[in-house]
Chains A and B, each alone.
Chain A
Amino acid sequence: MPLSAAYLSAPDDGSRANLAMAASLAAIAFDRMARGENASLGEVSKLVEVLKAAIKPQELDETENDSSAPSLLDPVSVELLRRALASTSAPVAPPSIPELSKRIQMSIQRLQKAARITDNVELQSLREFCLVLSQSAQLEMPATLGGVRIPILE
C-alpha cells in the first residue's frame, strides 16, 4: 500500500525531516572510527537528538508499561524506524508496537555509548544502522530535507 506524496510531504513537527542528513553524517563518523581514525561524535549526538525528538523516549517508557496505550508513538516515525531495525537486526515478530519500542530505545542507547565503543564489529553495525536509517528517511520524506512547500490549495 504505497503512501501518496501528499501524505509524505507532511512531517509532524519537522524533527524527522533532517533525519536523512543526520543519519548519513553519523554513518560517516562510525565509518571513520571503524577505520581507526578520529571522528567527531557531534554528528552522532545530533542523530540521537533527532531520534529523541522524533519518537519521544519518555513515551516509549510509558508504552513498555502499558501495551494498550496506542497513542503515545508517532506512527510515521515508528514505521520509519521499524524498517531500519528490520534491515539490520532480527525481525520483530509478531509486529507489535511495545516490542518495537524496546528495540528503538535500545538503538538509541547504543548510539549514546558511541564514544566508548572500540569493538570494530559494533562500529560497523552502527554504521549500517545509520545508513539504513538515512535511506529509510529518504524514502519516507524526499521532499522535506530543506523545507516543505505548501500551497493554500492543492
Chain B
Amino acid sequence: MEILRYTEQKIVRFLDRVSALQAGAHAQGDSIAALAAIYKLFDTHRETLKALQAPGVDAAVVANHCQVVLGALFQYLPLLGFLHRSKSASNAFELYGPLRSLAAKIIGPDARLILSSEWDFSPLTWVRMLDFPQYVLLGLPASEARNGLLMPLAGHEFGHSVWVRGRYSASLKSTLVDSVILNIRARIVEWTKHFPSLVDETKLPTDLFYVQAWLRAYQSAMLQCEETFCDILGLLLFGTSYLHAFAYLLAPGIPGARSPGYPSIRQRAGYLAELAGADNIDVPNGYVELFNDTPKLSDPDEDFLVSIADTVVHAQLSTLSTAVRDHLAACDYVAPTSVEIEEIAARYALLAPAGTPSSLAALVNAGWRVAVNADIWQEFPQVRARRDDVLNELVIKSAQVLEFTERVTNAS
C-alpha cells in the first residue's frame, strides 16, 4: 500500500519542520508550547499509520484514514506558517504582554496568545482548534502589524474565542431556526418563487428537503451572529477606538460581493453605531456613510436566503449585546473613563507616553483622540511632519509602561 507509506513519509517531514521551528528563538512563550503540542499530535498520527501496516487491515479503512490525516496536514501546515511568522521582527512584541493579559481576563486565565504578522490584509484569528482550544492565534496584516492604534481589532478576534467557549451558538440555535422559519412564512410567496417544488409551508420545520433548502439561511444567520457578537465585544472593550480602527482598516469596504457569513460592511457599521449610541460611546460624525453598500448576490436564491438571515440577525442585536455585556461584567471588565483617556491624550500632546495607564483601551483611545486632532503638535513642525509614526511610538511605549505596571502590581 504505497499510499500508506507516502502518508507516513509526509507526516515524518512535517514533524521535521516542527522540530526545525522549535529550534529557533521565540519571543512569545506560548508558541513554544504550541509547537510541542503539534509535534505530539502528529507523532500520534504517525503511530496510528504504523499500526495500519499490519496484514489484513481493510483497504477502505486505510484509505479513509490516510485522507483524514492528509486533511490534518492541509490544516496544520498553515498553522506552522503562522508560528513561523510569529517570530518575525515585524511583530509589535511590545504589545504582546498587555494583549495576553487582556486575553486572559476576557477569554479565560488559561488562554494562550500568539501574535503574528500575516500576509493577509484582513486581521484574522484561528479558533475552534479542537486539539488546542486554549490557544488564540491573532494575525495582523504585516504592513500594519506595528500599528498600535489597531489594537482594538484584537477585541473582535478575542470575541471568536469567547463565542466558542461560551457556546453561544448552542444557545442561539433554536431561536435562529425558529426565526428563519418564521421569516420564510412571512415571505412565503417569495419562497415559493425561489423553491417552486417546496410549496407546503407546514413541512418547513420537519421535511428534510425543506430543511436542506433553508439551511443556508440558518448558517448565514449563525455566522453573522458570531461576527456581530465579536464586533460588539470589540466595541465595548475599546469604545470609540474600535470604531476608528475598524474604519481605518476596512472603510469603505472591499470589492466584490459580500460574504453571506458577515453582515454587509455598511450594516456592520450601522450596528456598531446603533449600539455605541445606546452605550454613550462617541460615534464619529458620518461614521456609517464611510462604508459603501454592497450589491445583491448574483444568485437570486442565495440572495433571498441571505436576506432572510439578515432579518434574523437584526432581530438578535439586543440579545447579542446583552450577552456581551453579561460576559464583560462576569470578567469584571471596567471601561476606561473619559477623564483617564483625556489625561493620557494630554501627555501624548506633550510627546510623553502614558504615566500609569490602567488598560490598553485607555491608551489606545487617547491615541485616537490625538490622531483625529487636526491641530496636534503645531508647535513642533519636525514632529508634525512624521506625526503618525511619533504617535504610534507613543502608544507602543505606553503599552510597555502598562505591561511594566501590571507586572509590578502582580508581583506585589
Contact = CB atoms under 8 A, between A and B. Distances in A.
B356 to A, nearest CB: 31
Contacts of A82: 208
Given A20-B68, A74-B173, A79 B211 contact: yes
Interface string B203-220: 011111101110110111
Interface in A13-70: 13-14, 17-18, 20-21, 24-25, 27-28, 31, 34-35, 67-70
Contacts of A68: 205-206
A111 interface: no
B122 A153 contact: yes
A152 B64 contact: no
B206 A97 contact: yes
Contact of B262 (A78, A97, A135, A154): A154
A149 B71 contact: no
Interface in B30-61: 48, 51-52, 56-58, 60-61
A146 B207 contact: no
Contacts of B399: none
Interface string B251-267: 00010000111100100
Interface stretch (B163-171, B271-279, B361-369): B163-171
Contacts of B206: 67-68, 70, 96-98
Interface string B193-235: 0000000000011111101110110111011001000000000
B72 A148 contact: no
Contacts of B181: 70
Contacts of B72: 21, 145-146
A94 B209 CA distance: 10
Contacts of B65: 24-25, 27-28
Nearest to A92: B208
B105 interface: no
A67 to B, nearest CB: 6
A96 B204 contact: no
A154 B265 CA distance: 10
A145 B261 contact: no
A11 B169 CA distance: 9
B64 A147 contact: no
A10 to B, nearest CB: 5
Interface in B354-406: none
A63 to B, nearest CB: 9
Given A138-B71, A151-B122, A3 B164 contact: no
Main secondary structure of the interface of B (DSSP, over half): helix
Given A27-B64, A131-B64, A142 B71 contact: yes
B191 to A, nearest CB: 14
Interface in B101-145: 120, 122-133, 137
B215 A3 contact: yes
B75 interface: yes
B125 A150 contact: yes
Given A97-B208, A146-B79, 15 more contacts: A1-B213, A10-B222, A12-B169, A21-B68, A71-B174, A71-B177, A76-B219, A95-B207, A95-B208, A97-B207, A100-B208, A150-B124, A153-B250, A153-B262, A154-B259
The 8 closest A-B pairs by CB, nearest first: A70-B205, A146-B75, A147-B129, A151-B122, A71-B174, A95-B208, A154-B259, A14-B128
26 contacts: A4-B260, A9-B261, A12-B173, A13-B169, A24-B61, A28-B51, A75-B177, A75-B215, A78-B208, A97-B208, A131-B60, A134-B64, A146-B76, A147-B75, A147-B79, A147-B127, A147-B128, A147-B130, A148-B126, A149-B124, A149-B126, A151-B122, A151-B124, A152-B122, A153-B122, A154-B259
